[in-house]
């Protein structure tokens, strides 16, 4: 399926090097310094600064969305899961949250979705196992 014409125009804008304000001028990714801000703000930002919390949020949001509960509840669930995950050993939380995701994706979904879901689950479990082995 072709993207809508407006999207094509927008994509072309971002593809054009000449439109960059400063050619050759880059901003390398910076680590969030959690000591630069007050403790509350630091805690609030923490779930958004690590890959494992991001994955947990994606899984929780995806599960709720696939259950047909609507985007609003999916977003609330995702953010809540992100904060709750801070209080648990993340590798195990990831493993446990990815298993039901795999079940939902497997049940009554087209083969492509099943394969994608299985891939997500396998990668998630491998990441969790890697984290466990490193700790």
Partner 1 sequence: MMVVRQMLAEHSLRPEGERVSLFIERHLFLKRRWQGVAEDGTAFDFDLESRLKNGCVIHQTDDADYVIAQQEEPVFQIATPTVALAALVGWKIGNLHFPVQIGEGFVRVTVDPMIQELLATEDWSYEKARVVFQPLKLPPQVTSPNP
Choose among 69, 48, 70: nearest CA to 57.
48
* Nearer CB in complex with partner 1: 17/135: 135
Give the nearer residue to partner 1 in terms of CB position, either 65 or 132: 132
Contact residues toward partner 1 (CB under 8 A) are 25-28, 31-35, 39, 42-43, 46, 86, 135
Are the C-beta atoms of 98 and 59 separated by less than 8 Å?
Answer: yes
Gap between the Cα atoms of 97 and 60, Å rounded: 8
Task: Output the smallest distance, CB 131 to partner 1, in A.
Answer: 10
**CB of 28: closest distance to partner 1 in angstroms?**
6
Nearer to partner 1, 17 or 33 (CB): 33
Report the distance separating Cα 37 and Cα 46, nearest Å: 12
CB of 134 to partner 1, least distance (A): 9
> Under a CB-based contact definition with an 8 Å cutoff, are residues 43 and 56 in contact?
no
């Amino acid at each position: 399926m072709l993207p809508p014409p407006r999207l094509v125009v927008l994509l072309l804008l971002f593809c054009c090097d000449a439109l960059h304000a400063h050619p050759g001028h880059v901003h390398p990714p910076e680590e969030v310094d959690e000591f630069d801000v007050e403790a509350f703000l630091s805690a609030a930002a923490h779930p958004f600064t690590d890959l494992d919390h991001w994955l947990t949020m994606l899984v929780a949001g995806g599960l709720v969305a696939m259950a047909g509960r609507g985007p609003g509840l999916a977003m609330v669930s995702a953010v809540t899961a992100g904060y709750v995950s801070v209080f648990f050993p993340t590798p195990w939380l990831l493993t446990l949250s990815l298993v039901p995701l795999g079940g939902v994706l497997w049940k009554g979904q087209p083969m492509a979705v099943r394969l994608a879901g299985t891939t997500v689950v396998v990668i998630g479990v491998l990441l969790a196992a890697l984290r466990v082995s490193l700790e």
